[in-house]
Structure 1
Amino acid sequence: MNKLYQKMYSKKLFTLDNCLKIIKDKQVCLNTLTRLVNKGLLKRLRNSIYHIVPLDDPDFEPEPLHIATLLRKDASISINSSLQAQGLFYDKTIYLYSKHSAKIRINDITYRILKNRHNSGIKKHELKTSYGIYEISITDNERTLIDCIRTRSIKLEELVKIFRNPKIEIDIGKIINYLEKYRKPILYNKTGLVLDACKNFLRLQDDDLGKIRQKLSKKIFYAREKGLTLIRPKYKYYGKWNMMINEDLYDMIVPKTTLSSSRM
């Protein structure tokens, strides 16, 4: 069996740079990779990214989040995909931060590479796959929440459901720090609303939320979702966070006693 194939077999997913550590001559290395691809022993995903085709599992495909980390050397899994790395969400679009933006399609997965606005809020995370455990970079929970809200990549109702999880920890100091970096007033309203709806699960105190509330502007914002809908949603005013929110979200987060008394 080919030496390169044997060395890369346990890695399953690898780059040209990995191969050049085994075969120093670049042209010889590329010729070897091409030969292995033609024999069906490897599959080329991108110009410099390959994966093993195991003899006992010809339909093998690497974990998309693992592929994402190899698309850019400075890649950090972000937005929805940071939640996906933690088993809290799933989507066929993988988001990552890097110095340069791009959109890449591999198999049936879209990889959206977004320009990183600042380097805060990146942490190491162990990604568990069927073929090994790998250390990757992801955004922390605080930045992930704000970025999901900022990009409107997940509906607020869905974020409330996700963050009503006692395993998630939130540092209110980090929340304030990231909100200040983005300088978008509406983010204070939306972030405060979501955290308020999840405060018992996240073990947050009223004083924590007060730090966000004191930053609210006097302007009333609409919590509009991304994309077009056939039926225009109905909005209700939620005074606690000075926002107009859709009825489904309102009914989800406003206590039933409050709803009952308001209808009397």
Structure 2
Amino acid sequence: MRETTEVKHYRKRKLLPVVEYYDEIRRMGCFTLQDFSRMVGERSMVAYMINEYQRNGYIERIHRNLYTAMDIETGRPMLSRYQIGSRLFPDAYVSHYSAFEVWGYAPRLLDEVYVAAETRFTDFRYNGIFYRRVNPKAESDKERVSGCLVTSLEQTVVDSINNFEKIVGLEAVVECIMRLPKLDVDRLLQCLEKYGNGYLYQKCGYVMEQLQEYVDLPERFYRECREHCASTVRYMIKEAEGLVYHKGWGIYAPVLIGNRDERVDA
């Protein structure tokens, strides 16, 4: 059977240096097969070249249809764990404790990255890091830091207090908040308003008041939180021992640090 022109051209291209597109791949950092196909311009070459780049250590597959450029000298990905996390999907961004890490205010680094995305994916491990999906918040306050999309400090505080039991626990969140620079109170209140959750106002008001000597928030923040607090008494940590009732917030919670007035032992 006579060879087609396409197959002849394919075999001819196989003789070209495999590093032909490496600089462009390094510039992209992460890419999909569609990205690579647009760069190469020939669909017939994509599968072959991807296999060759992987075989030679120029790229690695991260997850499904996502690849990362590799540093051929160190053998490690060109992008950080956070940059990878924020590029898993077009709508992805780094959040919760991982956002504190990106901003540089986490006391320790975890071997996992919390990725908020509407696109659903199964948690997976790549290069020793576990990438975990969390539900995104509509109109989440985000910024671009160190080459990745990440929640603002104010959004990170609110998200982390809201989900501390599902993420790293209250103690770890408190450690991060104690290290933060002065927060923008208006952005903080806007983040709370987007949730529209009375219980979250209770939790945030209580936690930040306990840490007032560190966060130095104006009284209007606490006043606003109290105006939106849920009317029911809540337990901040379910089935935990040693909780104390804080009547100013109508909440049973662990004693943190800072102001310990207006409390009644449970």
TM-score range, shorter chain: 0.7 to 0.9
1:155–1:254 CA distance, 2 compared to 1 (3 A): farther
Say whether residues 1:221 and 2:224 are aligned partners. Answer: no
- 34, 48, 66: which is aligned to 2:51? 34
SS at match of 2:68: strand
| Structure 2 partner of 1:252 | 257
| Structure 2 partner of 1:140 | 152
| Structure 1 partner of 2:11 | none
In 1, Cα distance between the equivalents of 2:103 and 2:28? 22
| 8 Å Cα contact 1:81/1:95 also seen in 2 | yes
CA-to-aligned-CA distance 1:205-249 (integer Å, 9 cap, x gap):
123211112222332211106xx9xxx522111222221112xxx
| 8 Å Cα contact 1:100/1:113 also seen in 2 | no
| Structure 1 partner of 2:9 | none
1:223–1:99 CA distance, 2 compared to 1 (3 A): same
Instruction: Kindly report which structure 2 residues correspond to 1:1-264, keeping only aligned pairs within 5 A, or say none.
Output: 1=17, 2-9=19-26, 12-59=29-76, 62-89=79-106, 90-107=109-126, 108-122=128-142, 124-127=143-146, 134=147, 136-152=148-164, 153-165=167-179, 167-171=181-185, 173-224=186-237, 232-246=240-254, 250=255, 252-255=257-260
1:64–1:221 CA distance, 2 compared to 1 (3 A): same
SS at match of 1:22: helix
SS at match of 1:44: strand
In 2, Cα distance between the equivalents of 1:201 and 1:174? 18
| Structure 1 partner of 2:6 | none
Shift in Å, 1:191: 0.3
**More displaced 10-residue stretch of structure 1: 96-105 or 73-82:** 96-105
Q: Percent identity?
A: 17
| 8 Å Cα contact 2:97/2:173 also seen in 1 | no
1:251–1:188 CA distance, 2 compared to 1 (3 A): closer
The one-letter amino acid of 2:250's match is N
In 1, Cα distance between the equivalents of 2:86 and 2:33? 14
SS at match of 2:224: helix
The one-letter amino acid of 1:150's match is N
Shift in Å, 1:71: 1.1
CA-to-aligned-CA distance 1:127-154 (integer Å, 9 cap, x gap):
1xxxxxx2x2222222222211222224
| 8 Å Cα contact 2:211/2:258 also seen in 1 | no
SS at match of 2:123: strand
The one-letter amino acid of 1:234's match is G
The one-letter amino acid of 1:151's match is N
| 8 Å Cα contact 2:211/2:259 also seen in 1 | no
1:208–1:74 CA distance, 2 compared to 1 (3 A): same
CA-to-aligned-CA distance 1:47-79 (integer Å, 9 cap, x gap):
432233433223557421111122101112122
1:4–1:115 CA distance, 2 compared to 1 (3 A): same
Shift in Å, 1:99: 2.2
The one-letter amino acid of 2:115's match is L
SS at match of 2:228: coil
* TM, length-normalised to structure 1: 0.78
In 2, Cα distance between the equivalents of 1:40 and 1:19? 16
* TM, length-normalised to structure 2: 0.77
| 8 Å Cα contact 1:100/1:115 also seen in 2 | no
Gaps of 5+ in 2: 1-16
| 8 Å Cα contact 1:100/1:114 also seen in 2 | no
| 8 Å Cα contact 2:97/2:114 also seen in 1 | yes
SS at match of 1:125: strand
